[in-house]
Structure 1
Amino acid sequence: MTKIFAHRGSKGTHPENTLPAFREAVRVGADGVELDVQLTKDQELVVIHDNDVDRTTDGTGEITDFTLSEIKQLDAGSWFKPEFSGERIPTFVEVLTCLQEEGFTGILNIEVKTDEKEYPGIEAKVIECLNQQEWSFQVAYSSFNFSTLENLAELDPTREICHIMYAKQSEIEMVKHVPFISGVHPKITWIQENPEQAVTYPLPLRPWTVNQVGDMLLAFELGLAAIHTDYPEQAKLLLKSYQER
């Protein structure tokens, strides 16, 4: 059965990568939760997608321009809807704790955002946080950056490591032969263009970002491992309807 991963929490209905978005993902029964981690100026792990704060807060500037205390002063909710006014960029630990408190038992997909900016040592920091206690959920690492995946494989070989990629056939073929890669997260366009390859691909496929009903149904019909979607509640309902046909 195809699993439903909530992309940056329930990104379509709540401000992305905020605690309300993650709580909503758990509430609707998402099988997985995806988030993005980056480092502040003072080397603190925060959960935000872009390299700057411009799009998803009332501030401007690169994440590395802010200390944690400074970035915590920004409003990360009003841009989405007034009702989320005052929401803050969460730390990685805050999200882990939130998911634990909400009783999440699925897979947490941690995207390490090193595809555009280098964060030396970020892999060790993520692992250090995870090793502080036992969690109610499983963990998978993912990144566009192959070097980051190599570092994660060396530092924490027991957890799943997944390569995120665009629709490049060469990359899809290459990772088949990498021993430490246990899953592939391609852009949905590759699935659309190569359904026959998707069915026989030797590693679990979890495409992004699957928001259209037709794409969701295609993933279900192909029996893909999972999809990443901004609308996990809609996807769960559609999957239930599909299974009952």
Structure 2
Amino acid sequence: MTLIFGHRGSAGTMPENTMISFQEAIDAGADGIELDVHLTKDHIPVVIHDETLDRTTSGTGNVNSQLAEELVLLDASAEFPEFKGKAPIPLLEEVLEWAASGDSRFIVNIELKNNIIEYSGLEEKVIALVKKFDLDERVILSSFNHGSMVQALKIEPRIETALLYSDGIYKPNDYARRAGAKAIHPLLRTVKDELIRQSRESSVSVRPFTVNSDEDMKRLIEWETSAFFTDFPEKAVQIRKSLS
């Protein structure tokens, strides 16, 4: 079965990378959520996509120029003003505590946003939180920084890693295996049915991003793709049910 991951939660309908967005995705029946992590000025993992605060929050400037206690007071509903006051920036610890507390065993894909700013110690800090909540088997670490994923495996080989990429890679399954990764997360336009077939033969999972059209969702499900990331998990779940 093709698994469905809520991209930044349910980013098409809720403020991205917020608790209400993550809850919306799980309530819709998603098999997992995807989120992004940076480090604050005091080196605490915080959940936000951009290196800066300007697009999605009531703040301005770089994420890593402010303390965690300052960031959690900001409103992250900028693109969905109807949720103003209901969508603070969450710390990664808050999200993982929530994920560990419920009965649902959904997957949490944590993207380490260290391909533009190389946050020293990001891998260690994220993995320490994953282990704190005993989520080793329910977490996937991913990054466009493939060296970071190799480093993560050295720290804790039991946590799955995945390689993100936006441009074509020659023999991506072979490349992933050499890096110790169990999955590749390619930009949707780079994905062909041959790659999906090869992934099944090589035991490397393929999870494309970001899949929002009905046509693309149906195509990937029919190809028996491992999983995909979507801003509209509720719609994706409904389409998957209609094809079963």
**TM range, smaller chain:** over 0.9
Residue 5 (structure 1) aligned with residue 16 (structure 2): no
1:204 is aligned to 205
TM-score calculated relative to the size of structure 1: 0.93
Contact 1:78 1:85 (8 Å CA) reproduced: no
- State the alpha-carbon separation in 2 of the partners of residues 41 and 216 from structure 1: 39
Contact 1:75 1:87 (8 Å CA) reproduced: yes
- State the alpha-carbon separation in 2 of the partners of residues 136 and 178 from structure 1: 22
Q: Give structure 1 stretches of 5+ with no counterpart.
A: none
Residue 66 (structure 1) aligned with residue 66 (structure 2): yes
| Deviation of the 1:23 alpha carbon | 0.8
User: How many matched pairs?
Assistant: 241
Identity of paired residues, percent?
A: 37
Alpha-carbon RMSD across the aligned residues, in angstroms, is: 1.7
SS in 1 for 2:206: coil
Deviation digits for residues 201-223 of structure 1, max 9, x if unmatched?
A: 32110000000111101101111
| Deviation of the 1:122 alpha carbon | 0.6
1:22 is aligned to 22
Contact 2:106 2:138 (8 Å CA) reproduced: yes
1:237 is aligned to 238
TM-score calculated relative to the size of structure 2: 0.93
Deviation digits for residues 58-103 of structure 1, max 9, x if unmatched?
A: 1110001111122122111243132343421100011112223343
- State the alpha-carbon separation in 1 of the partners of residues 176 and 149 from structure 2: 14
Distance 1:209 1:99, change over 3 A: same
- State the alpha-carbon separation in 2 of the partners of residues 229 and 209 from structure 1: 5
Deviation digits for residues 176-206 of structure 1, max 9, x if unmatched?
A: 4415110000000011xx2223222321100
Contact 1:103 1:136 (8 Å CA) reproduced: no
Deviation digits for residues 23-71 of structure 1, max 9, x if unmatched?
A: 1111111111111111000111100010000100011100011111221
1:195 is aligned to 193
Q: Give structure 2 stretches of 5+ with no counterpart.
A: none
- State the alpha-carbon separation in 2 of the partners of residues 13 and 49 from structure 1: 16
